[in-house]
Chain A
């Protein structure tokens, strides 16, 4: 019987995330995915940057590395090149991965380094008090956009795909079972796997935007997404303003570490 507690650093719990924070749901899905892949604790490295999402690395009993803001992918690339047999999972947030670490993201994707990048997108900088992030949707209120955000947000999946990631997918915390399967697929892909997870920040995003309590907010996710397979059959106007979930792009190509090893052999 699966018990997620065997993968946790129990002395660190309860974790520091706010009540209703979606990141904990992603953590649970990640542990179940790792369990179903039958990976041992020592085979896994979890690398994270700075931010609420990046705190997750501190709660899991694998090899973990909590790195500088925006740079987890750079550290993870080094780990993967030195120890290609390890499964390297990067947990980053939308601010960490797309703003300050945006350049690392596109180059890790371009090189197709064998990493799994989980980008937890809650549309806000939660840890520093709710400043808008590069993924905050237009019109959303934050501490730095009191009259509503007016900058066009990133579609991080399109960004990763265009940059060359061999696996791109999007999950939501409302569908934890589907999310678990996406994480499994992302880890199984040999090259750079990019998985965006739409998460909630009830404290700084939900509260400022009057989205109700954490439960209201997570139920609301359902209205904003369409599965990519279902979307193929739907007319364009039904898809307006919706996010696509599922595996958006999967095109295996040579992994960076393997190519590098060959070139120096």
Chain B
């Protein structure tokens, strides 16, 4: 990025990923370098997996706090589908940095049977490349987990962002130290460097193969006594705990499963106390 005029960075993601903190850190870096910074964001949508975005604009003088579509220098997307949603904001010749780790929203997986297709968009990377030439995609969460905490994903992505900004490494590390909780400074800086180095190594990997994150199956709809609607079960474990006969247990997919149907005394507690109406005793 050339520091002439106003630079636009759009940071987008899903609620809870740390979009706001990442944009705050970027803001601190810019201010410490003497730029005027304006920031506009939507927050609070986080709690049910909503869209969170933060516009960051910096330069000698910034007038409006929001970025116009087609003018953003960089789009830093914490999630592939969010990258697609916001890609029209990127200017021709701009850069998109994408975390390849998907967050499939509940609305896209109402059909929770095994192997049921989600309504999550397909072919995101190709679509992004069709719109903007410079698409850098990598699995930031994997790097964060290697460092020891998946919540550091936002700092990893900030590290990737730093590879296309003109600021010095020390500016970034100082801003991180000033913005995160003291006991996490060291790990955050490590995560930042991991993301930065990964970008400088021009690591680009493709979208991982469609992994069904919520495995599903209808296992025991036809069981003689207790039927568990597997695709409705959300794995709260209440039925397993309240059953006086230990007829049920949680399986490896965190769904309730009948293991001792013959012991059932028809007390009905599992059916009556299932918050998802997924259990029927026939």
Residues of chain A having any CB pair with chain B under 8 Å: 1, 3-4, 8, 13-25, 27-29, 32, 127-130, 173-174, 176-177, 180, 202, 204, 213-215, 218-219
Further 5 A-B residue pairs, CB within 8 A, beyond A21-B275, A32-B272, A215-B238:
A13-B277, A22-B275, A129-B48, A177-B268, A213-B237
A215 touches B237 (CB 8 A): yes
What sequence of 0s and 1s flags, for each residue 230-248 of chain B, a beta carbon within 8 Å of any chain A beta carbon? 0110111110111000000
A3 to B231, CA, bound (A): 18
What sequence of 0s and 1s flags, for each residue 255-282 of chain B, a beta carbon within 8 Å of any chain A beta carbon? 0000000000000110111111110101
Residues of chain B having any CB pair with chain A under 8 Å: 44, 46-48, 106, 110, 112, 231-232, 234-238, 240-242, 268-269, 271-278, 280, 282
Minimum CB–CB distance for B60 against chain A, Å: 38
11 A-B pairs with CB atoms under 8 Å apart are A15-B277, A18-B234, A19-B276, A23-B275, A25-B274, A28-B272, A29-B272, A129-B46, A202-B236, A214-B237, A218-B238
Q: Cβ of B240: which chain A residues have Cβ within 8 Å of it?
A: 215
Minimum CB–CB distance for B75 against chain A, Å: 26
Tell me the interface secondary structure of chain B in the complex.
loop
B237 touches A24 (CB 8 A): no
B277 touches A219 (CB 8 A): no
A176 touches B231 (CB 8 A): no
* A14 and B231 contact, Cβ closer than 8 Å, known pairs A25-B272, A27-B277: yes
Q: Cβ of B272: which chain A residues have Cβ within 8 Å of it?
A: 25, 28-29, 32, 176-177, 180
A29 to B274, CA, bound (A): 11
Q: Cβ of A4: which chain B residues have Cβ within 8 Å of it?
A: 277, 280
Whose C-beta in chain B lies nearest to the C-beta of A22? B275
* A14 and B236 contact, Cβ closer than 8 Å, known pairs A28-B277, A130-B47: no
Minimum CB–CB distance for B180 against chain A, Å: 18
* A20 and B236 contact, Cβ closer than 8 Å, known pairs A13-B277, A14-B112: yes
Instruction: Tell me which of B47, B106, B242, B280 has the highest count of chain A C-beta atoms within 10 A of its own C-beta.
Output: B47
Q: Cβ of B241: which chain A residues have Cβ within 8 Å of it?
A: 215, 219
A29 to B273, CA, bound (A): 9
A14 touches B275 (CB 8 A): no
A173 to B282, CA, bound (A): 22
A22 to B48, CA, bound (A): 18
